Structures are given as structure tokens and as C-alpha cells.
Amino acid sequence: MVLLSNYLQSTWPKVILAGGVAFIGYAIYFDRKRRLDPCYKQKIRQNRKRKQEALNSNVFSADFPDPKNPLESEEFFLKSITLGEELLQAGNIGQGIFHLSNAVVTCRQSTELMTIFRQSIPAEHYLLLSKSIPAARERQKAALERQGYGQSSVRIEEVKSEPTSDAAEKKFFMLDDEDLE
């Protein structure tokens, strides 16, 4: 009986070791077979491209509202702010900045909103946000032209603020809708 228990104690580690080696060999064999497939890199590129297109079409889509309709503009603004803050908190910085920049572009008091963001979000996020504003303006301009509002009714112009201190003069952007007046 003692011989049998000694035999089983020394056999189990060997069986477990052999099973582990067989599993690792099996994994290496199929990984090598997969990587040597001539279409492997092409399939990887197609999958990445498909995922990126899906991400861009779903998350980065922004249909800007009619600037003449304050209710639509306010709804879009609130939705963009909420979604942007949630994405930033979840760690999706690029997507969060995208939505926050859309909100800034839509906001009629964008300078005040940027001041609030300067105080409420981390400095690196604020820097990304301020750098993404021109691209958001271009997206807004293209979306408004696609929707038929054109350049005549909505104008995006650059406005220089008065310097408040010895710091250099800052540039701010403002949406000016002549038809609202």
C-alpha cells in the first residue's frame, strides 16, 4: 500500500507536466499555422479597417442641428456634453473630446464654456479639446452645408477678445447666425 501511494504521488506531477507541455505545443502549432497563412495579414487589416469604420460611423457621427432652431441646438448641446463627459470618465479620451468639441462649437457662449472646461477637466484634456475645436468647426461647416443651410445664413468667424492681463491676446471662435436676429 505504501508503494502504491508513493507511485501515485510521483506520477501525478509527471502527468500534469506532460499535459501542460502537450497543450502549449498544440497552441504553438496552430499559432504558427495561422501566421504562415498567406491571407493572415490581409484578414487582420480587413478586421481592423472594419472595426475602425464601425467606430467612426457610430461614435464619431455628428449631425449638427439647425442653427435656427434653439430647441434642437440645446438638445444637441446637452447630449454632446453628457456623452463627452461620460466618455472621458470611462477613459475614452478621443471620443469624449470629439463630443465636447461639438458641444463647444454649438454653444453660443463658447468662450465661457471653454473657461468652465479649463477649470473642470484635466489640463491635458483641455489642451486636446482646444486643439480639436478647428476640426469641429470644419465638421460643423460641412454638415450645415450638406443640410442646406449654406454660407449665407450661418457664418463662423474668428473673434479676438480683449486681453485681460499682460498675457498675449487670445483668439476665440463664435458662431454668428444673422437670421436669428
pLDDT band for position 171 (cuts 50, 70, 90):
very low
Q: Which pLDDT belongs to residue 128?
A: 93
Q: Which pLDDT belongs to residue 34?
A: 83
Contact (Cβ atoms closer than 8 angstroms) between residue 66 and residue 149: yes
Domain boundaries, the chain: 65-160+170-180
Q: Residue 61: what are its φ and ψ, rounded to 5°? A: -90, 135
Contact (Cβ atoms closer than 8 angstroms) between residue 83 and residue 98: no
Q: C-alpha grid cell for residue 159?
A: 473673434
pLDDT band for position 33 (cuts 50, 70, 90):
confident
Check pLDDT > 70 for residue 172.
no
DSSP label at residue 88? H
| pTM of the predicted protein model | 0.52
Contact (Cβ atoms closer than 8 angstroms) between residue 81 and residue 110: no
Q: Residue 4: what are its φ and ψ, rounded to 5°? A: -65, -45
CATH placement of domain 65-160+170-180: 1.20.960.10
